[in-house]
Structure 1
Amino acid sequence: MVEKHWAKKKERGSYWGIVIVLRAYQYGGHWLMRLILAPVITYFFLTGGDPRRASLDFLRRVHSYAAERSPFTAEPGWRQSWYHFWQFGLHALAKIDAWVGKVSKNQVRNCGDTHFDDLEKQPQGGILIGSHLGNLEVARALASKKYTRRMNVLVFTQHAQSFNRALKDVNPKVDIDLIQVTDIDMGLTILLKERIEQGEFVVIVGDRTSVTQPGQTIEQDFLGKPVSFALGPWILASVLECPVYFLFCLKNPNDGHYDLYLNHACDQLKLPRKSRREALQPVLKAYSETLEKLAMRYPYQWFNFFDFWKKDSQ
């Protein structure tokens, strides 16, 4: 059976289901939400064949590739995969914590070469390229409370929009700047360029291929095998003519703090049309290596539940 492209998979869950979970959090806190999440996560684990296989494949790749540095004492099995799903549920809980103010700046540890303070001092904005590893919401929520610079987040799935809509219904004070897109066209590029010139930032993920142009990819090694990365985020960064940063925020399992990795990639990404792929290789390699290093360090916070190594159709 041929697995569908990630964007063509039907999203599981609904707006009202998300609202119910958020209301449980609002009135019962963590204990009630975890009580509701446990059977829900188990249901998705048992009925989601493709995500379950993708989870197990990823965890085993980490174990095999890391060798003696593996975060696992033995090859991961179904228990580790269920725990991977469970961490995805807690990831949603952490998002809510961040936006309702239950995560303080003292719980976040700067591990990168750049701080948000540095971004605040710049006259120009920039583009922050993240991933589905860890929890960008924590970084965004804290930055929105402490700093004046607006963060424009590009989202490509209805689920992300539904979650944030539900979160705003439960807590109207939540201020999330989302831009729902299906394609990065000229109109969107002009809008984003204007905002960056005004000192704002654009947040986009770099670890999923295009929703509308799945074949527009470039290969780079990840955990020992070639992976297709989307060209879109990098072309956008080039067109915007602004500083580029990598952004990752991961919960440290040892002390419960968040490790924030904000790393400067380049002052401006220049991609000549005739040699675009060759010019992109150094920065994409740096992104892939950072993603790889953090994925091995925090494997349960990898939230790409599909075959990440499957080549997109051209």
Structure 2
Amino acid sequence: MNHHWASIGERGSVIGMTLMVAIQRYLGRWPFRIVLWPVILWYFVMHGTARRASQAYLQRLTPSLAKRPLARRWQSYRHFLAFGDTLMDKVAAWSGDIPDDKLAGKGIEHFVTAIAGGRGGLILVAHHGNLDVVNALAERHQALKLRVMMHTRNARKFNALLERVTGRPRPHIMEVSEITPATAQSLAEHINAGGYVVIAADRLPLSGERTQRVNFLGDAALFPEGPFWLAALLRCPLYALACVREDGRFRIDFDAIDDTQQLPRRQREAWIADAMQRYADQLAERVRRHPLQWFNFYPFWINDIDYPHDDAP
């Protein structure tokens, strides 16, 4: 069976999505959450691949869950509910409903400082927390020129719905599976002009691009080389960006990883291997602090063929 993340297509009808978004916008978080619980329960029961991958991940963080199947399933359901909560935050972010006093962390200050410096760069993100909150910050910084590289084909209905109901377009998005030499040249021009490119660094490529084994949360996982090769080719600053819910606010982290401007060609491969492991270590630290905000619901580690099985469908 194909467990590549891109094969797990978007689920849910446009009518259902529209109803959920309308409840969030016009009735608030608690009515949305009450409606969300049975929806997430249905998804939890019916989507075995995501459920088992969730339990394997949680058991990796808390090994004692291996002997407590009921506790493991309950934690997994909470994991799914946390993902549902991010849908509310997406709608709020793109509706402009997140006030400044809900934003915390040094990341905003670091972000503004980088923009003021005039140099563009490549920003690595992961499917941990809610980056839509950060993307919405683009509207608050008119000087920010942002391009987002992502795989959109399995989430087009929700993306289109989000734009329609909020009346706000998302940042310039480039389909990551369609990168060509001309695309790379365009990205270089964008960064040289002081712009930023955002790309996910925790999803396997779709068409056979190279990957590397890195240690992530104590075991081997495959991470894509593409974002790091791109950083080496573009000869630019490299950053990590993250946003998680913490104590009722959104904590934003924006940190420099490296600068490849002076990276010699002969050292690229060694630098890529080192940078990938450093990024994986930083990501693991964030994931351990906020485990239920990790949203890769598919077999992520090389050894995940042995992930927990249960009797549900």
Q: How would you bin the TM-score normalised by the shorter chain?
A: 0.7 to 0.9
- How far apart are 1:111 and its partner, in Å? 4.0
| 8 Å contact kept, 1:156–1:182 | yes
Q: 1:292 matched to which residue of 2?
A: 284
Q: 2:174 matched to which residue of 1?
A: 179
C-alpha distance after superposition, 1:92-121 (max 9, x if no partner): 111111121221222222245961111221
- How far apart are 1:199 and its partner, in Å? 1.5
Corresponding residue to 1:149 among 139, 144, 147: 144
Does residue 304 in structure 1 map to residue 296 in structure 2?
yes
Count of matched residue positions in the alignment of Structure 1 and Structure 2: 301
- How far apart are 1:275 and its partner, in Å? 5.5
Does residue 136 in structure 1 map to residue 131 in structure 2?
yes
CA distance in 1, matches of 2:287, 2:32: 27
Amino acid of the structure 2 residue aligned with 1:7: A
- How far apart are 1:27 and its partner, in Å? 2.8
Q: 1:18 matched to which residue of 2?
A: 17
Corresponding residue to 2:117 among 113, 122, 137: 122
| 8 Å contact kept, 2:232–2:268 | no
Q: 2:90 matched to which residue of 1?
A: 95
Summarize the Cα distance change of 1:14–1:198 in structure 2 as closer, same or farther, 3 Å threshold.
Answer: farther
Unaligned 5+ residue runs, structure 1? none
- How far apart are 1:262 and its partner, in Å? 0.6
CA distance in 1, matches of 2:302, 2:82: 24
Q: 2:226 matched to which residue of 1?
A: 232
Amino acid of the structure 2 residue aligned with 1:61: R
Q: Any residues of structure 2 matched to 1:262-301 within 5 Å, and which?
A: 262-268=254-260, 276-301=268-293
- How far apart are 1:273 and its partner, in Å? 6.5
CA distance in 2, matches of 1:117, 1:274: 34
Amino acid of the structure 1 residue aligned with 2:221: V
Secondary structure of the 2:221 match is: strand
Amino acid of the structure 2 residue aligned with 1:131: A
Does residue 244 in structure 1 map to residue 238 in structure 2?
yes
Q: 2:41 matched to which residue of 1?
A: 42
C-alpha distance after superposition, 1:168-207 (max 9, x if no partner): 1112234432222323221211121121122111111100
CA distance in 1, matches of 2:107, 2:141: 18
CA distance in 1, matches of 2:262, 2:2: 35
Secondary structure of the 1:77 match is: helix
Summarize the Cα distance change of 1:113–1:173 in structure 2 as closer, same or farther, 3 Å threshold.
Answer: closer
| 8 Å contact kept, 2:53–2:298 | yes
TM-score by length of 1: 0.87
Q: 1:261 matched to which residue of 2?
A: 253
TM-score by length of 2: 0.88
Unaligned 5+ residue runs, structure 2? 305-313
Bigger Cα displacement from structure 2, 303-312 vs 80-89: 303-312
Q: 1:29 matched to which residue of 2?
A: 28
Between the aligned residues of both structures, percent identity stands at: 33
CA distance in 1, matches of 2:156, 2:192: 26
CA distance in 1, matches of 2:131, 2:179: 21
Q: C-alpha root-mean-square deviation of aligned residues, in Å? A: 2.5
Secondary structure of the 2:62 match is: helix
Secondary structure of the 1:115 match is: helix
CA distance in 1, matches of 2:240, 2:222: 18
